[in-house]
Structure 1
């Protein structure tokens, strides 16, 4: 899978992201004029919410747990990001006729979604290649 990014014709910092057949927008969100989409931190945090929801729904279906829907809120505290601390608070709302054991199981499953693991336990290596083109 390759993600391709190009600068948008509209907006000073607006970027177009192409992921297979899907197109997303990212922007800097410094001011109302440059707020045409989520910023990169928003996309990072949103990946966690989406992964948790999908993981929970898939698990519940497979385990025959009567989970009807999942609502998730992510609250970010990035005030200490420059010193190496980035805190995300995840609020899970599980909708369905769940008994306490099922609720507890689903809460544990949510903590094991792949993006949660990437954010908390995996060492990520980034290799960048750079090419300059005369424009």
Structure 2
């Protein structure tokens, strides 16, 4: 899977993310940081991926168990005040609609901790390699 990121406009910070066969996504930063605030910022996508992965994992488990789960609501709240010191906190509140059994609800919450993004964020070493690539120069049309 390759994601292509391109600056959206001259002098602005908004970026366009292109992922094969999906609608493009926009990424921006809030106005106080020099952006237009017209799209989620990178932290938003990071946090969103955790919430969505937890919901999907719970739904998949409930479906496999044939539990009456009708849907999942997730609220992710970030506390980034210590991020520069290496601590980024995410509080995830989950509601399991259609499940009244407290044991099933507890099991769905427990299973959500095993979603791939939760594991990636909490127990993996992520290695990032960044390198420059020369800009392609195109001859003017005409």
TM over 0.5: yes
Partner secondary structure for residue 47 of structure 1 = helix
Aligned match of 2:97 = 95
Aligned match of 1:4 = 4
Q: CA RMSD in A?
A: 1.9
Q: For this pair of structures, how many residues does the alignment match?
A: 135
In the alignment, is the contact (CA less than 8 A) between 1:6 and 1:17 conserved in 2? yes
**Alignment gaps of 5+ in structure 2:** 138-142
Distance in 2 between the 1:105 and 1:115 partners?
A: 18
Aligned match of 1:30 = 31
Partner secondary structure for residue 94 of structure 1 = strand
Q: Report the CA distance between 1:10 and its aligned residue.
A: 7.3
Structure whose residues are more often strand by fraction:
1
Q: Report the CA distance between 1:129 and its aligned residue.
A: 1.5
Distance in 1 between the 2:68 and 2:79 partners?
A: 33
Structure 1 stretches (4+) deviating beyond 3 angstroms? 132-135
Aligned match of 1:50 = 52
Q: Report the CA distance between 1:11 and its aligned residue.
A: 7.2
Using the size of structure 2 for normalisation, the TM-score is: 0.88
**Alignment gaps of 5+ in structure 1:** none
Aligned match of 2:14 = 14
Q: Computing the radius of gyration over CA atoms, which structure comes out larger, 1 or 2?
A: 2
